[in-house]
Amino acid sequence: MTAICASTSRQLQRDLDKERESSSQRLSQSLSWTASERAIVGLILDEMDRKSDLLKAYEVCSGHPKVRVKLSSEMRLIEASIARLLKQVSTEPAAPKSLRSVKVGFVKLFGSGCKAI
């Protein structure tokens, strides 16, 4: 097992913020985290802290193989959870809507009788 220091989650937060800032500078736009992205990042950081705690418990329980098996299983589940959550966070801006999707939204909102488009 790889030793995880307690600051891993803080480092991830800094790395994500750096990536977002880099994207912002590259596009000359001000990008910020949405509320849902902030919530997901918070969940990721909590999961990373939980994994760190489990790793410490794993190292302490060297004489108890049954406990270590349960802890390692829980750590694998947390790693999978972190990977799923990371897929939901993007440091790039959302793609702009196409003209077609804008038209469809307009028709849904105002009905097909409107000839503005």
Mean predicted confidence (pLDDT) in 25-52: 87
Mean pLDDT over residues 101-115, rounded?
Answer: 74
- For the chain, percent of residues with pLDDT exceeding 90: 38
Q: Taking Cα atoms as reference points, which of 37, 46, 43 lies closest to residue 17?
A: 37
- Beta carbons within 8 Å of 28's beta carbon, 6+ residues apart: none
Alpha carbon distances (Å) from 23 to 64, 83, 92, 98, 112: 47, 22, 6, 21, 39
Report the pLDDT value the prediction gives residue 102, as an integer from 0 to 100.
78
The yes-or-no verdict on residue 84 having pLDDT over 50 is: yes
Tokens of 16: 């994500």
Kindly report whether the global pTM for this prediction surpasses the value 0.85: no
Per-residue confidence (pLDDT) for residue 76, from 0 to 100: 96
User: Please, what is the angle between helix 8-27 and helix 35-60, to 10°?
Assistant: 150
CB-based contacts of 10, cutoff 8 Å, min separation 6: 45
